[in-house]
Amino acid sequence: MYRSPYGPYGPDAPSGLAVEAYGMVKRYGEHTALDGVDLAVREGAVLGVLGPNGAGKTTLVRILSTLARADGGTARVGGFNVRDQPDEVRRAIGVTGQYASVDEQLSGFENLYMIGRLLDMSRRKARIRATDLLERFSLTEAAARRVGTYSGGMRRRLDLAAGMVGRPQVLFLDEPTTGLDPHTRNEVWDEVAALAREGTAVLLTTQYMEEAERLADELTVIDHGRVIARGSIDELKAQVGTDTLQIRPLHPADLAPMLSCLHTAGIGGAWIDEDEGQIVVTAADEKQLSGVLRALGTAGFDVSALTAHRPSLDDVFLVLTGHEEGNAHQRPYEYQEPDPYQEPGPFLDPQEDAAVPPAPSPRPPRRTPAAHLRHTGTLVRRNLLHMKADPSSLLDSVLMPAMFTVLFVYVFGGAIAGSRGDYIQYMIPGLLGILSLMLATSVSTGMNTDFRTGLMDRFRTMPISPMSVLAARLISETVRSLLSLSVLLNFGMVLGLRVLSGPLTVLAMDGLIVLFGMAMVWVSVLVGMTMRSAQAAQALSGVVAVPLQFGSSIFAPVSTMPDWLVSFTHYNPLSALADACRELINAKPAGESMLTVLLWSCGLTVVAAPLAMARFRRRT
């Protein structure tokens, strides 16, 4: 027999397991959220992970779904190691986290369709699957409506549907029905059960015993980051207490004769509950219960009430965790892990005949460039749909440049360069450089919003490259900044700007702005992901962007500035960009400033891009 050094269920043992986790540890500073959790979900089975608030359920789901990294232990999902093969794991899973992570700006249909496309379904398949899931979760009527207008329960249902789009091999559901009404809860249960019947293994965390009873084949109870009990529902109930039968005689005087009748019939565990005026029989099994009824019937006793009581999972939960209303007090029950070689764990099949370790699971094919393009295209479409759903968000791309032009031309126009006409020719081309900063800011704001709404977590549990997410942002925001650019140029021309160069030169200028903008995107993405809040990121961007803009040659020539500012302005990359734009529009030689912009763009990208990507991929 194959013997793993870890015991029969160790990390290299053969298994029919969809999820297996051994000794998972997760610390947050001093606090230990998971303290050596082992669990397993058989293929096609539903494991309920039960635990009070703060037990570590969400932490566990985040680790198993590749969002967080464990500090200890190993885990395999779908046969792949969650730490070393996150991409493979992501292909096998669907996730619905504790908090809804859907795109509020898109409709319900567009959300599910987008996920289908990101999971490499054809357009037709994605459409059919989205329609089908909306139907199953009673969202058909709201399918075309923006999710922002959905009720909490509708959003939750959509989020659950989103986790199921790819018919995953393993589905993680973190408290799937919290906050749902009883009818909706039943609907969700039906869907989860249906998916499990189709062969999906489900790991479901819950605080509802009814949910666990309804769905779970096996349970693992955790508390304070440790497993305190596991087994089938019946096994857990048996650990807590047995079934009881309460018999109330029609005539109270019959109590004592009834008890002796039961004793005569050889039924043990019966006693008189004087307070309630009834006989209580603690019965180990159904056979014993029917023996009781037969004995009393034969003796001809009249009975006024008969109640059978099975311990509920609520009883189990309370006894095991010693919690009431989430308050921890003494733990009355100590769970003892069975010796793996003596007694098979209740949730694992012993692999008696397995003589060799399993063949490693086949690696799924690598993503092709075409797949990356498709993902990026899908996400660009999503961002453009945002603009369509909320056209007022485009106002600042249009109004800001127009306002800037008018204000600067009329406020500073005459004062700075002697004549307004000269100033227009000087300032407006320089102003184009600012668009690169606007591009960077809008990309990082968009990314930040996706992080905050949890949508980024959904993307990060899917088999798509983070580059696709970023590239899509970049492309759609570039579209937006090209819109601003054309407003600025056209508006400038209305005010008297003369574009002396040809269309090709203008195109080269666009390219330069976007290139420098992209370099700044890396910087601002890095800032956006490093700062704790969107406000902090915005504040920092402001602190950087304002001196960069005003301490440049955008609004006034460097020669007019005091000495202490000159060197800053001279080396400020925005000066080079403004100069380049100015020279290009005025048909002057622009080689030197263009080269400077190129060098700055490359330099910033080389430094900031790897840092930003590492930050993006990091799992905490």
| Interface ranges with Mg ion (CB under 5 A) | 57-58, 98
Neighbours of 362 (CB within 10 A): 8
* Of 36, 54, 377, 421, the one binding ligand ATP by CB under 6 A: 54
Q: Using the rule CB under 6 A, is 57 a contact of ligand ATP?
A: yes
CA torsion, ordered 2, 6, 7, 12, to nearest 10 deg: -50
Region of 50-58, 293-301, 431-439, 506-514 interacting with ligand ATP (CB under 6 A)? 50-58
Query: Please, what is the minimum distance in Å from the beta carbon of residue 145 to ligand ATP?
Result: 29
Please, are residues 194 and 135 in contact by the beta-carbon 8 Å criterion?
no
Choose the contact partner of 138 out of Mg ion, ligand ATP, none; CB within 5 to 8 A by kind: none
Binding partner at 51 among Mg ion, ligand ATP, none, C-beta below 5 to 8 Å by kind: ligand ATP
Nearest distance in Å: CB 59, ligand ATP: 3
Using the minimum distance from each CB to Mg ion, give the nearer residue, 146 or 224: 224
Sequence-distant (6+) residues with CB within 8 A of 82 are: 63, 64, 66, 70, 75, 76, 89
User: Residue 321, interface with ligand ATP (CB under 6 A)?
Assistant: no
Q: Are 350 and 13 in contact (CB under 8 A)?
A: no
Binding partner of residue 59 among Mg ion, ligand ATP, none, CB cut-off 5 to 8 Å per kind: ligand ATP
- Contacting ligand ATP (CB under 6 A), which of 98, 140, 244, 312? 98
Smallest separation (angstroms) from Mg ion to the CB of 358:
32
CA dihedral 595, 596, 602, 606 (to 10 degrees): 150
Q: How far is the CB of 447 from ligand ATP (least distance, A)?
A: 19
Q: How many CB atoms lie within 10 A of CB 289?
A: 17
Return the H-helix or E-strand segment holding 378: helix 369-389
Q: Which is nearer to ligand ATP, 29 or 591 (CB)?
A: 29
Which pairing describes strands 46-50 and 201-206: parallel, antiparallel, or unpaired?
parallel
Q: Which residues pair with 450 in a beta bridge?
A: none
Tokens of 24: 């998972």
Judged by CB, which is closer to Mg ion: 57, or 185? 57
CB of 321 to ligand ATP, least distance (A): 11
Strands 218-223 and 226-231: antiparallel
Alpha helices for 412-465 (secondary structure H): 413-417, 420-431, 434-452, 455-460
* Smallest separation, CB 367 to ligand ATP (Å): 30
Under the binding rule (CB under 6 A), the answer on residue 206 touching ligand ATP is: no
Instruction: Give the separation between CA 76 and CA 112, rounded to whole angstroms.
Output: 27
Q: How far is the CB of 174 from Mg ion (least distance, A)?
A: 6
| Among 56, 249, 433, 463, interactor with ligand ATP by CB under 6 A | 56
**Which of Mg ion, ligand ATP, none lies near 271, with the C-beta cut-off 5 to 8 A by kind?**
none
Q: Candidates 25-33, 38-46, 437-445, 558-566 — which segment interacts with ligand ATP by CB under 6 A?
A: 25-33
* Rounded least distance, CB 56 to ligand ATP, Å: 4
- Assess contact for 593 and 583: CB atoms under 8 A: yes
Count residues contacting ligand ATP (CB under 6 A)? Answer: 12
* Binding-site member from 39, 40, 59, 556 for ligand ATP (CB under 6 A): 59
If the CB atoms of residues 56 and 73 are measured against Mg ion, the closer one turns out to be 56
533 binds, among ligand ATP, Mg ion, none (CB under 5 to 8 A by kind): none
Contact call for residue 156 and ligand ATP (CB under 6 A): no
Phi/psi at 324 (5° precision): -130, 130
* 454 near ligand ATP (CB under 6 A): no
Q: How far apart are CA 566 and CA 342, in angstroms?
A: 81
Which one of Mg ion, ligand ATP, none is in contact with 206 (Cβ closer than 5 to 8 A by kind)?
none
- CB nearer ligand ATP, residue 112 or residue 320: 320
The listed partner (Mg ion, ligand ATP, none) that binds 229, CB under 5 to 8 Å by sort, is: none
Question: Considering the complex, what minimum distance in angstroms separates the CB of residue 62 from Mg ion?
Answer: 9
Name the β-bridge partners of 309. 244
Q: Which of the choices Mg ion, ligand ATP, none does residue 55 contact, using the CB cut-off of 5 to 8 A by kind? A: ligand ATP
Question: Three-state SS string across 196-232, please?
Answer: HHCCCEEEEEECCHHHHHHHCCEEEEEECCEEEEEEC
* DSSP conformation letters of 61-114: HHHHTTSS--SEEEEEETTEETTT-HHHHHHHEEEE-SS----TTSBHHHHHHH
- Shortest Å, Cβ 115 to ligand ATP: 24
- For residues 58 and 541, which CB has a smaller minimum distance to ligand ATP in the complex? 58
Compute the CA torsion angle 333, 338, 344, 345 (nearest 10 deg): 40
Report the Cα–Cα distance between both ends of the chain, in Å, rounded. Answer: 39
Per the structure block, which two tokens stand in for 58? 């969400």
Q: How far is the CB of 28 from ligand ATP (least distance, A)?
A: 3
Q: Which does 53 bind (CB under 5 to 8 A by kind): ligand ATP, Mg ion, none?
A: ligand ATP
Contact flag: residue 533 with ligand ATP (CB under 6 A) = no
Among 5, 31, 183, 327, binds ligand ATP (CB under 6 A): 31
CB nearer to Mg ion: give 98 or 449.
98
Q: How many CB atoms lie within 10 A of CB 144?
A: 11
- 28 touches ligand ATP by CB under 6 A: yes
Q: What DSSP state is assigned to residue 273?
A: E
Examine residue 33 and tell whether it contacts ligand ATP (CB under 6 A): yes
When asked if residue 51 is in the footprint of ligand ATP (CB under 6 A), the reply is yes
Radius of gyration of the chain (CA): 33
Choose between 58 and 444: whose C-beta lies nearer to Mg ion: 58
537 and 527 Cβ atoms separated by less than 8 Å? yes
Name the site residues for ligand ATP (rule: CB under 6 A). Answer: 28, 31, 33, 51, 53-59, 98
